[in-house]
Amino acid sequence: MNIEQEIDDLIHKSGANYREWYVGLAINPRERLFTGHNVSEQSGVWLFRDAGSEVGARDIEAIFLKKGCKGGTFKRDSSRHVYAYKMTRTTRG
Protein backbone atom coordinates (compact mmCIF):
# COMPACT_ATOMS: atom_id res chain seq x y z
CA MET A 1 0.00 0.00 0.00
CA ASN A 2 1.34 3.43 -0.85
CA ILE A 3 1.53 6.39 1.54
CA GLU A 4 -1.33 8.29 -0.09
CA GLN A 5 -3.63 5.29 0.30
CA GLU A 6 -2.52 4.75 3.92
CA ILE A 7 -3.40 8.34 4.83
CA ASP A 8 -6.71 8.18 2.96
CA ASP A 9 -7.60 4.91 4.72
CA LEU A 10 -6.76 6.36 8.14
CA ILE A 11 -8.85 9.49 7.48
CA HIS A 12 -11.84 7.42 6.38
CA LYS A 13 -11.51 4.93 9.28
CA SER A 14 -11.46 7.82 11.75
CA GLY A 15 -14.87 8.96 10.52
CA ALA A 16 -13.49 12.44 9.93
CA ASN A 17 -13.26 14.54 6.81
CA TYR A 18 -10.14 16.05 5.25
CA ARG A 19 -10.68 19.45 6.91
CA GLU A 20 -10.17 17.77 10.31
CA TRP A 21 -6.69 16.53 9.40
CA TYR A 22 -3.24 18.09 9.20
CA VAL A 23 -0.60 16.78 6.78
CA GLY A 24 2.96 18.02 6.86
CA LEU A 25 6.63 17.28 6.33
CA ALA A 26 9.37 16.98 8.93
CA ILE A 27 12.94 15.85 9.28
CA ASN A 28 11.99 14.45 12.70
CA PRO A 29 8.30 13.52 12.41
CA ARG A 30 8.02 12.09 15.94
CA GLU A 31 9.21 15.36 17.48
CA ARG A 32 7.00 17.40 15.16
CA LEU A 33 3.89 15.34 15.93
CA PHE A 34 4.23 14.86 19.67
CA THR A 35 6.03 18.06 20.72
CA GLY A 36 5.37 20.56 17.94
CA HIS A 37 1.71 19.69 17.34
CA ASN A 38 0.96 18.23 20.78
CA VAL A 39 -0.56 15.05 19.32
CA SER A 40 -1.12 12.31 21.90
CA GLU A 41 1.12 9.38 21.04
CA GLN A 42 -1.19 7.00 22.91
CA SER A 43 -4.69 8.20 22.03
CA GLY A 44 -4.20 10.39 18.95
CA VAL A 45 -4.88 9.27 15.40
CA TRP A 46 -1.69 9.80 13.43
CA LEU A 47 0.97 8.29 11.19
CA PHE A 48 4.26 9.17 9.57
CA ARG A 49 6.10 7.58 6.68
CA ASP A 50 9.36 7.98 4.79
CA ALA A 51 8.42 8.97 1.23
CA GLY A 52 11.91 8.22 -0.07
CA SER A 53 12.64 11.75 -1.28
CA GLU A 54 11.77 15.36 -0.61
CA VAL A 55 9.97 15.58 -3.96
CA GLY A 56 7.88 12.51 -3.15
CA ALA A 57 7.00 13.89 0.28
CA ARG A 58 6.00 17.28 -1.16
CA ASP A 59 3.85 15.58 -3.81
CA ILE A 60 1.94 13.63 -1.16
CA GLU A 61 1.52 16.73 0.98
CA ALA A 62 0.18 18.68 -2.02
CA ILE A 63 -2.41 15.98 -2.75
CA PHE A 64 -3.85 16.25 0.75
CA LEU A 65 -3.76 20.03 0.86
CA LYS A 66 -5.86 20.02 -2.33
CA LYS A 67 -8.29 17.60 -0.69
CA GLY A 68 -8.80 20.09 2.14
CA CYS A 69 -6.34 19.05 4.85
CA LYS A 70 -4.56 21.72 6.84
CA GLY A 71 -0.79 22.04 6.56
CA GLY A 72 1.95 23.70 4.61
CA THR A 73 2.16 26.75 6.85
CA PHE A 74 5.37 26.04 8.75
CA LYS A 75 9.00 26.49 7.80
CA ARG A 76 9.95 24.22 4.94
CA ASP A 77 12.82 21.85 5.34
CA SER A 78 14.39 19.23 3.13
CA SER A 79 12.40 16.40 4.62
CA ARG A 80 11.36 13.16 3.01
CA HIS A 81 9.00 12.27 5.87
CA VAL A 82 5.26 12.86 5.60
CA TYR A 83 3.10 12.93 8.71
CA ALA A 84 -0.64 13.21 9.24
CA TYR A 85 -2.85 13.56 12.28
CA LYS A 86 -6.46 14.13 13.19
CA MET A 87 -6.74 17.54 14.82
CA THR A 88 -8.36 17.79 18.27
CA ARG A 89 -8.96 20.47 20.89
CA THR A 90 -5.49 19.81 22.31
CA THR A 91 -3.42 19.68 19.11
CA ARG A 92 -1.63 22.67 17.66
CA GLY A 93 -1.91 23.20 13.90
Whole-angstrom distance, CA of residue 37 vs CA of residue 10: 18
| Terminal Cα-to-Cα distance of the chain (whole angstroms) | 27
- Reported pTM: 0.93
pLDDT, tens digit only, all 93 positions of the chain: 799 999 999 999 998 899 999 999 999 999 999 999 999 999 999 999 999 999 999 999 999 999 999 997 555 667 899 999 999 999 987
